[in-house]
Chain A
């Protein structure tokens, strides 16, 4: 184990905090203390080498996804490559877009093989991998307007449903974005998939060439960015309602196609005061909260 990595329980005595370089995980498993113990030990052991493994093939992971490209060696790296592979043919993306989700998945995977517990999550900076034993569920709350704490719905992700990952991407986040979305949150079968899809959709929520959007070549900000000279969003000034809608439309169209391809189960696109839900039917404003059938959800119909 590297001394560099920090591994500790949070004060609540229940959640495990794993930190190494840019990786920061919060882990919680639910079950008997012996099983949680075993799961956390496995997570800690696996975590110790994750960053070194990734860094050993970092240059490869910073290359755009493409068919027939070199294969990654490490398990996490392979999860990353697999998650972005579906996009390589039509757009720019590198495996780094899925790093957080892939790490979360990997840690969760070693926990589930080492122990039996009812449910668990591994939260890597907002990109979350979930485990649900049969009959278990997580309740997910959804809020549309950030300045309104009223939940517009809760979704119950239960074990019969395919969603095991969620991720959020946007230009205000830690990673650079090519788009202007404040946040795009995606539910998908796996965390790495959600991570990649959120990145793709957040990039697509955009108003190309708009004067209010300040963009800077990624390399000017971080010389070794995998985005190279691509302009990344640094600020978004005033936008009209129509412009917000146009940007969200562009992102929603991409999200819809990913939904059809099975790359995500639901997505919420957020820009300024507006939110677009994909995976929910938007035809009638009164019925906007319908979830896609793949996201079986218990909704609070209204507030």
Chain B
């Protein structure tokens, strides 16, 4: 009766039999290819709990509790009364309110269906992933494009209604699946037209063409010269920091000049911008400093024999310290690679150390503008204002969101701050994301001024089984947008 491939979980006395790829009754332990594994807590009650470290121990290991109720610094409510419902993304039509600082607060924890949504992916790498605006593909289908790069990072914009519903059925399905996987912090392979193949996973280093990115660059080549010039003084005669953006040359650079670094007769390829700063020493790529060069000497021309001297010490290093090479000039003033002296390896290590770990980060972005207002037609902008003025707090799976200025309620949220399995999809295809709106009842009243119409029903409900209360015909009915359907009183 029990399948051979199911395993018995002994984490608790329920002793579930769990099939491969499934979780037990707790949703905390799962069968991963025959192995019992602990997965992240299914139940996420609020942000503090979901992170697992900011909870107050209660009756801890020694069961010695002094009985004091610790006063909380944070009274942020994400899921009272619906605490565990949203990871299931089931809507919770009844939600209990909580009293916070003497004010009744209503938290609506629910799911939103976002056909207008996508993710912005920040990939910490200086490697060239592909030309701006080129298509990003998953499983061969276009799912987004390369957008404006940021400092030390390449940016992708994926999803959106055009790919979800504007293309072929397959394009929509693959886009939806890609977004869902990225939001669920699963690895996704993306290929950029005329560019690289990147393995992207939120919170993990990117893997570009099979090579895992380790570090973000400490700065551009010029900035690196400025930061480390002093540490190089006396230990090396010339330093070239190779960078796809701005390659820096110590002896010509302002920092080197200030320190009295002697001219070396070095001649760079590329375009000199200002002294010691060179653009386009090579083509963009995935090798040294985000360029395509494998051999650093290929960006040098021959040294000026009038200035250079034999035994001249030359360090070439990338902006992340990952690539480096040390040369000394021979009698013919040709660079000959030598072992990196100990004194310099320290500075190379320091460049590396100053580079932050390279990560992929995924922000989910969605708009709840139109339908959100549909239920409020009398003065719809107030709802938006309410969100903007932080009277109504919007959270996404308990995570804080950034709400864009302008019309509608368009927000961004870092998926890594959300509980696992917070997202789903509908066959539209569109993504389903949890969204919570929290507001004070008083503010809610202020939102539309409908509190005058609040009518206690107890007085008329006693006695007869069912009684009817007519709507105020001047007010739009929330169940059917637009006035026409109910203006006939």
Contact = CB atoms under 8 A, between A and B. Distances in A.
Interface of A: 1, 3-4, 7-17, 19-22, 24, 26, 28, 30, 33, 36-37, 40-41, 44, 51-52, 55-56, 58, 121, 123, 125-126, 128, 130, 138-152, 154-155, 166, 168, 170, 172-174, 182-183, 185, 187, 220-224, 237-238, 268, 270, 275, 281, 284-293, 296-303
Nearest to B448: A303
A290 B467 CA distance: 7
Contact of B108 (A16, A149, A299, A300): A149
Contacts of A302: 450, 453, 471-472, 475-478
A187 B70 CA distance: 33
| Chain A binding surface SS class | mixed
B131 interface: no
Contacts of A284: 468
B274 interface: no
Contact of B69 (A13, A281, A299): A13
B456 A174 contact: no
Q: Which 6 residue pairs spanning A and B have beta carbons closest together?
A: A21-B12, A12-B72, A13-B72, A149-B437, A55-B13, A8-B58
B58 to A, nearest CB: 4
Given A140-B96, A221-B22, A302-B478, 17 more contacts: A4-B11, A8-B59, A9-B55, A9-B56, A20-B12, A21-B13, A24-B43, A56-B13, A141-B94, A141-B108, A148-B375, A151-B108, A173-B88, A238-B427, A287-B470, A301-B472, A302-B472
Given A143-B108, A296-B461, A298-B456, A51 B96 contact: no
B48 A10 contact: yes
B476 A303 contact: yes
B69 A126 contact: no
A303 B376 contact: yes
Contacts of A146: 91, 110-113
B24 interface: yes
A285 B90 contact: no
Interface of B: 1-3, 6, 11-19, 22, 24-27, 42-43, 45-46, 48-49, 54-61, 63, 67-76, 80-85, 88-99, 104, 106-108, 110-113, 368, 371-372, 374-376, 383, 392, 424, 427, 435, 437, 441, 444, 448, 450-451, 453-458, 461-462, 464-472, 475-480, 485-486, 489
A224 B67 contact: no
Contacts of A293: 461-462, 464-467
B14 A143 contact: no
Contact of A44 (B54, B59, B451): B59
Contacts of B1: 223
Contacts of A154: 97, 106, 441
A26 B457 contact: no
Contacts of B376: 150, 303
A26 B45 contact: yes
B470 to A, nearest CB: 7
A24 B97 contact: no
Contacts of B471: 286-287, 289, 301-302
B450 A1 contact: no
Contacts of A26: 45, 80, 83-84
Contacts of B451: 300
B17 A17 contact: no
B106 A145 contact: no
B113 A222 contact: no
B12 A51 contact: yes
B274 to A, nearest CB: 52
Contact of A223 (B2, B82, B450): B2
A33 B70 CA distance: 10
Contacts of A172: 88-90, 424
A125 B84 contact: yes
A33 B69 CA distance: 7
Given A121-B81, A284-B468, A286-B471, A170 B90 contact: yes
A44 B468 CA distance: 45
B403 to A, nearest CB: 13
Contact of A285 (B56, B424, B485): B485
A139 B368 CA distance: 26
A298 B17 contact: no
9 contacts: A9-B55, A9-B70, A10-B55, A11-B73, A22-B27, A141-B108, A142-B94, A173-B90, A298-B454
